[in-house]
Amino acid sequence: MLVVIALGGNALLRREQKAEASLQRENVRLAAQAVAAVARRHKVVVTHGNGPQVGLLALQSLAYREVDPYPLDVLGAESEGMIGYMIEQELGNDLPGRQVATLLTQTVVDADDPAFHAPTKFVGPQYEEEEARRLQRNRGWTLEKDGDKYRRVVPSPAPQRILELPTIRLLVEHNVLVVCAGGGGIPVAINGHGAVRGVEAVVDKDRASALLASDLGADALLMLTDVEAVYRNWGQPGQQPLRRTTPDDIDPSQFAAGSMGPKVEAACRFVRGGSRQDANRRSIASARGVSRPTASGGPLAGIGALANAAAILRGESGTVIRSSW
């Protein structure tokens, strides 16, 4: 099987933790163990979030007033290198002899996407209300409530395509474990002359991961985070975990737009697209020597806790979405 594993930014740096390099390293070490448990049996492509990290880089950039603050696309590239380096190194430690490569990845978006006028993507640390109001007033940021605190939100345009897809595909075909599309990829737009330029945004990692998984013909997409499953009525007394469902039975709009909503949307998009293209995907994979699952229901999308990656793939943990059961 070919499995795309999307590591959430909050799985790599938990909400209550300071953005210390040593803490991130320890979290990445644990994440690598979970990925390695899957990679020992399957081909794997790893993507990752960067919300906490790119937010920290933005704050550090603002602190040096001799130059203009760096734009979000450049900060995204920096975070791809930093996080990818840690993941690649720890996976190499867990999978001796396995080739691992981190690839700087650009994701094309539409420069006229309405999302540029309606920021929704959380980045950076959490703030108390008073500090959030000060940042909004002094820096012109948009801040929204995230739990009982506040975080900065930035535009999150829809990913259209991944420029480095042919390279990723080539590496996968040669059994390289690829780390790519960090933070959803570096957001870029292409002008009328074909020139590529960065844009001030953050692409949602789960939406980009679903696009990547579909384009690679993956059998499964795992979105791993710091919660055990998708819950109906999250945070309320009657909250209930969803274990097995289909795209027709779950509505992404019922979940938080800045966190679980994009994961559910990405899962449903991948499952629907994979189901329609399953016959073609199987024939392509057969020619490449990649085994495909024989279980009914087609491609699988799973959402759940990082430590449970292998169990989610087996349908024993988290929330698993397929076209049919």
What is the Cα–Cα distance from 302 to 241, expressed in whole angstroms? Answer: 13
**Which entry of 263, 302, 304, 318 is annotated as an active-site residue?**
263
**Which entry of 10, 27, 50, 308 is annotated as an active-site residue?**
10
Q: What is the bridge-based pairing of β-strands 230-232 and 220-225?
A: unpaired
**Is 175 annotated in the active site?**
no
Residues, the chain, total?
Answer: 325
Query: Computed from CA positions of residues 48, 52, 58, 64, in that sequence, does the dihedral angle turn out positive or negative?
Result: negative
**Is 263 annotated in the active site?**
yes
What is the Cα–Cα distance from 313 to 285, expressed in whole angstroms? Answer: 19
**Which entry of 50, 121, 183, 304 is annotated as an active-site residue?**
121
307 close to 316: Cβ distance less than 8 angstroms: no
**Which entry of 9, 185, 261, 304 is annotated as an active-site residue?**
9
Which segments of the chain does DSSP mark as H helices, in order? 9-12, 21-39, 51-63, 72-94, 129-139, 165-173, 205-216, 260-276, 278-288, 309-313
Q: What angle do the packed helices 51-63 and 72-94 form, to 10 degrees?
A: 130
**Which entry of 50, 205, 261, 302 is annotated as an active-site residue?**
205
- Does residue 299 come out as left (phi exceeding 0), alpha (psi in the -120 to 50 range) or beta? beta
205 close to 184: Cβ distance less than 8 angstroms: yes
What is the Cα–Cα distance from 96 to 114, expressed in whole angstroms? Answer: 46
**Is 194 annotated in the active site?**
no
**Is 205 annotated in the active site?**
yes
Catalytic residue annotation: 9-10, 121, 205, 263
